[in-house]
Structure formats: structure tokens, C-alpha cells
Amino acid sequence: MANNTGSAADSHEIILVLDFGGQYNQLIARRVRENHVYCEVHPHTMPLDKIRAMAPKGIILTGGPNSVYAPDAATAPAELFELGIPVLGICYGSQLMAHVLGGKVETAPTSEYGRTEVTINDAGQRSKLFEGVSAKTICWMSHTDYISAVPDGFTITAETPVCPVAAMEDASRQLYATQFHPEVMHTVEGKTMLKNFVFAVCGCAGDWHMGSFVERTIRELRAKIGTGKALCALSGGVDSSVAAVILSKAIGKQLTCVFVDHGLLRKDEGDQVEAVFGPDGPYDVNFIRINAKDRFYAKLKGVTEPEQKRKIIGEEFIRVFEDVAKKIGKVDYLVQGTIYPDVIESGLGKSAVIKSHHNVGGLPDFVDFKEIVEPLRLLFKDEVRACGRELGIPEYLVSRQPFPGPGLGIRIIGEITEEKVKIVQEADAIYREEVEKAGAQKNLGQYFAALTNMRSVGVMGDGRTYDYAIALRAVMTSDFMTAESAQLPWDVLQRVTTRIVNEVKGVNRVLYDCTGKPPATIEFE
């Protein structure tokens, strides 16, 4: 089995992000791409010869959880800073730059965490990195170590009352560092700083545009697949829908879209997917719907561990596709809607594995296809939507909320049963209906109901109940890498709660999740 893991670096200028285990690695790349500059995340262990071969216009070193002076600390060779390529170190990356180049890093007398006022000093006001940035600006700090002495040749450009080196630079060598995180939205002028690094320091032109991506991808897919046949794993969500349409533009009827209804979809969703991609829909594709609910439930019986559930669902998806492929003849290619955060969160870079995805980490070791084709694996979610618009996909499909491949299987805590699926389907449908009826869905990145594994005592009528608790989730996010819990109107939550308890059998309590990402993920498992 081979994966389509090609890079856009071959035809575009690129900024390279070297990951030291920071939680914001994806966000850095996303912020760079907002400037129409292509960016990729790679492990910090990437060899220097590969870095040279990629010829990046700039390099960004991410944050990380460890101390640079620890015996087993992630590090970088001094030669990295001698390539003549501009480097920006962020948080751990800034401390690493100081440590490797002869400065001093030690435990800070006072740790800093959260929104912090940073003073850009006179040297900073002359810095390319801080051009157009206020002399006093709010930034996001998250550190217990600090740079106590800068390396030779460096100038301190910003500070806080307890952090003497909030930023430093050696402009002659194009080396820049910030102790704070310019990539997060809490750093008020962070986007300006990153834009300055990309354009003023690295000299990028900004040639990463969705139109050219679509044209090139269609051309490359047509050349790769030739006269072969492909199966598309279609869930009906944004990612798989865009993948299906871009493949149909490339190879037409050589593509068969297989929609596996695993019984873990939202209420009536299977019929909605068929209405769009089936024979009466607007797209000229081969469409097969497989009703495999019983098959998936049997595999999941007794399983409670989240990763195991994901992997079982992922493997069963593949086995269903293989069965279909045998019936329709030789199929060389399996098409999936994998996107860039799937790749990174599944641990294919330096970062810790947050969760496996059925279309990345959940694949079994053996797959009976020549190659897996993932035309969107370079894109973030909002870029996938832009790609869909470029392809002419209707807005109601393009702007649809994300839905995980394992479906309600990861919105049901603990064992999955048909009864639990029914509960969460009905509760979710009520929640979505009331939110949309109130117009409260505006600015929400995602909202859904999940079934906890908690049962509690309640009273309904004159009787005692011992039933499940439903948890409601609603988040605001622009990139799905960080998110804040939404403050839904209380009257909406009251109506939702009343309806769920009254209309959904087996539920006597409704909770609202106020946790952001991080520390939580958007999905429950």
C-alpha cells in the first residue's frame, strides 16, 4: 500500500515549520497560509540535506513542552542557523535558538501564562518583525523557562516586567525569536508579526492560491490514475464530498463513490447523502450505498476504549470497500478525504498522537488497493471549503459542519449499542433544530449532542428514574485547531433541555460543555 503524500513545495515557495512537540504547530502553518504562502509541518529531526533540498524561504521552530537544557531535550544542530535561511523561533524554539548559539536559558523566577502585555523597545520598533506593531501589545505567554542571556550578535527587541527577553534578533543573520506565541488569536497583533516574517524577512511573494491548487491537482490525478478505476470513501461530509467532486472532474465515470452507512450517522443523514450523490443528485458519479449497520455494531460490541473504537471502525470501512471493489472489478485506487490536521494529529510528525483518524491512523496494516489517493491531505479545513467553492459545489454542502469519520461512535462514551445510537441521534436532532430555529448557529464552528456514560437518579412524574446524561457541545473556531466554548443563549439551552428530557427515552439530565480546545478536543473521543 502506498499513500499519496506529495508536497506542494515542488511548485511553490514554502515556509517550513519544524515541530518540537508544540500544541500550536498546525496553527503556525495555518497562519502562514493565510498570507497565500505555502507552509508544511515536519519533525524537528528532519535532516539538513532534506531541508536544503526543499529550499524553504524561511523556517519556523515551534514551541514544545520540555526544557532545552534537559538531557533528553529535543534539539537542532547549529548548522541549521547557518544555512542562510531566515529562522523564527517561537517559545521553546526561541530558547533553543539561544541555547544552541551560546546564550543562556534557565528556570524563570516567575512563570508567565496567558495574555501578557509586551513592550516592544526602541530596537524592536526598528525591527522588520515588529513593523506596524504597537509599542505595547498583548501577547500569549506560556513558559516556565526564559532566556536570561542572549547569544553574541543578538539584540533584545521586546520584554515584559518578568521576562527580560520576550523577543530577540540577529537581523544580519536573519534570526528572530519570540518567547510569546504570535500564532494564537490571543496575541492581538500576532498575524502582523507573522506576515512581517513571511514577507519582510523571508521575501515571499504569496503564490499559494486555491484556483491553481485545484487545476494542478486535477491534472496530477488524471495523470496518476490514467485509465484505472478508483473508489471514493464518501461520508457526505465536507472533506469526502470535495474529494469526490475533484476526482470526478479528473476521471469521471472511472470513479465509484461508496457510501458506507455504518449506523453511526446523524438522524436521517444517510438519506440526505444519497439525495445529493445518488442517481437523482446533481453529480454524474457512480454511487453505491452500503447499509452495514449490523456489521459495525457486531464488531463494536463490548468495546469501550476510544482508540480501539476508531481503529475498528476504520478497519471495517476498508473491509467493506474491498468487498465492493471485488464486485465491481479491479480497482487500483482508494480515495479518501484526509486533510492536513488529520495527518498531523495522527502523529505523523513530531507531535504526540492526539487521536487516530479512520482515514489515517486507523487503517489496518494490509489494504488491498495499489494506492490510497488523498487529494486534500495538504489542506486545512477552511482551505477545503475554498477548494469546494472553486469546484462549484453548492454552499450548503461546502459550509456544512465537520462530522467525524467514526461518526456517533466517538460521541457515545463507552460501549456502542443500537439503543445508545438512537438516543444520541434524537437528542442531537432536537439540539440542532432549536439552535437553528433561534438563529444561534451563527459564528458556531461546530455544535452537537453527545451521550455520556454517566447515569444518574432523576424524577419524572411521580416516579424515580436512573437514566443517561446528554452533553451538549458548541464551539467557536476559525481553524478547528483551537476553539472556545460558545455562550449560547440560556433560553435556547432551556428549550433544548426540556425537549430532550421529555422526548428522548432514556435521558433525564442535560449538561453543557464549557471547555475549550485546548485542553479538550472538540470531539469527546
Angstrom CA distances, 370 to 213, 330, 338, stand at 25, 10, 17
Whether 306 contacts 410, CB under 8 Å: yes
Whether 273 contacts 259, CB under 8 Å: yes
Strand partners, 168: 156, 177
Q: Distance between CA 454 and CA 498 in Å, rounded?
A: 19
- Pairing assessment for the beta strands 38-43 and 58-61 based on DSSP bridges: unpaired
For 85-99, b/e burial (b = at least 16 CB within 10 A) is bbbbbbbbbbbbbbb
Whether 114 contacts 184, CB under 8 Å: no
- Could you say which of 159, 183, 374, 523 is catalytic? 183
- Pairing assessment for the beta strands 446-460 and 371-373 based on DSSP bridges: unpaired
Helix-helix angle 210-225:238-251, to 10 degrees: 60
Angstrom CA distances, 238 to 8, 70, 186, 266, 467, stand at 22, 43, 28, 15, 34
Whether 380 contacts 26, CB under 8 Å: yes
Residue type, 161: P
Q: Distance between CA 87 and CA 73 in Å, rounded?
A: 20
- Could you say which of 44, 181, 357, 358 is catalytic? 181
Q: Is 311 left (phi over 0), alpha (psi -120 to 50) or beta?
A: alpha
- Could you say which of 91, 139, 204, 257 is catalytic? 91
Whether 382 contacts 282, CB under 8 Å: no
Please identify which residue in the block is written with the cell numbers 505595547: 136
- Pairing assessment for the beta strands 104-120 and 136-149 based on DSSP bridges: antiparallel
Order of strands, edge to edge, in the sheet holding 286-291?
Answer: 2-3, 371-373, 333-335, 230-234, 255-261, 286-291
Q: Distance between CA 475 and CA 490 in Å, rounded?
A: 15
The torsion angle over the Cα atoms of residues 401, 402, 403 and 404, rounded to 10 degrees, is -170
To the query of whether residue 181 is one of the catalytic residues in this protein, the response is yes
Query: Which residues contact residue 64 at a Cβ distance below 8 angstroms, ignoring those fewer than 6 apart?
Result: 20, 21, 22, 74, 91, 92, 93
Q: Distance between CA 441 and CA 293 in Å, rounded?
A: 30
To the query of whether residue 215 is one of the catalytic residues in this protein, the response is no
Q: Taken in order 299, 338, 224, 47, is the CA torsion positive or negative?
A: negative
- What would the grid cell of residue 273 be? 447523502
To the query of whether residue 13 is one of the catalytic residues in this protein, the response is no
Q: Which residues are catalytic?
A: 91, 181, 183
